[in-house]
Amino acid sequence: MKVKKISLVLVLILASFITNDVVVHADDHEHEDKKHEKYKEYKDYKDDDDDDEKYDDDEEGETYYFQDAVTEKGTWNIWTRTVAADKEVLPFTSSQKVTLKVEGTKKELSFFVIPKDGEIFVPGKAVAQVLGAKATFYKESKILAIQDQTNELIYRAGTNVVYDNNVKTPTPAQAFYVNEELYVPISTITNGLGYIAEWQENYQTFVCQPIAN
């Protein structure tokens, strides 16, 4: 009788190990499937710690310097793609709600803008979408990927560079994350997608016009 009891206990223990092993493997496969799906969506820009490699292992908050960058006078609506030494006066200096319209279309959007560091910062994802581009924000890595038919822009919070069609390019100020949004200088996102923004004080509106080729 004791032998039978011991055998039964061993069978139950073995069954428990087998069941746990199956569950663990099932969870592993589910985790890997989700991981691969996320990587596929993000293309070459991973939404994990490995994305630092794309940015040459630079830490957030660090200022980037380019040997071939030329210092010149900057303006809030023109992206010179160089380091600007002096900046022109902004049309307003306090955070406020504005409207952005695309000339020749019915597209428009209202949102809050933030004047900072001599630049006007706008929510990158929302502005990109109203300009007709696809925008995806990866919250863990604070990376914003924007793409239309001819342009691609990759921003990261705490950096003053953007990958402009895969070219590492200086921006006039650092992008930053606030209120669940990545804010970027308006000149970089509008110019980068083929537009220039003009400020209309009477209507508190930015009007985006296509840049003539």
Inter-CA distances, 149 with 83, 99, 106, 162, 204, Å: 28, 25, 20, 18, 30
The domain spans of the chain are 1-42, 72-210
Pick from 35, 51, 70: nearest CA to 155: 51
SS3 content of the chain, % helix, strand, coil (to 5): 30, 35, 35
Phi and psi dihedrals of 192, rounded to 5? -65, -25
Q: How far apart are CA 114 and CA 51, in angstroms?
A: 28
Q: Are 84 and 73 a contacting pair, CB within 8 Å?
A: yes
Q: Is the pLDDT of residue 195 over 80?
A: yes
Quote the CATH superfamily of domain 72-210.
Copper amine oxidase-like, N-terminal domain (3.30.457.10)
Give pLDDT tens digits for 44-96.
Answer: 444 444 343 344 434 445 555 444 556 667 899 999 998 777 888 999 999 99
User: pLDDT value at position 74?
Assistant: 81
pLDDT at 105 over 60: yes
User: Of 113 and 69, which is predicted with more confidence?
Assistant: 113
**d(Cα 79, Cα 211) in Å, to the nearest integer?**
12
Worst-scoring range by mean pLDDT, 2-16, 26-40, 117-131, 148-162? Answer: 26-40
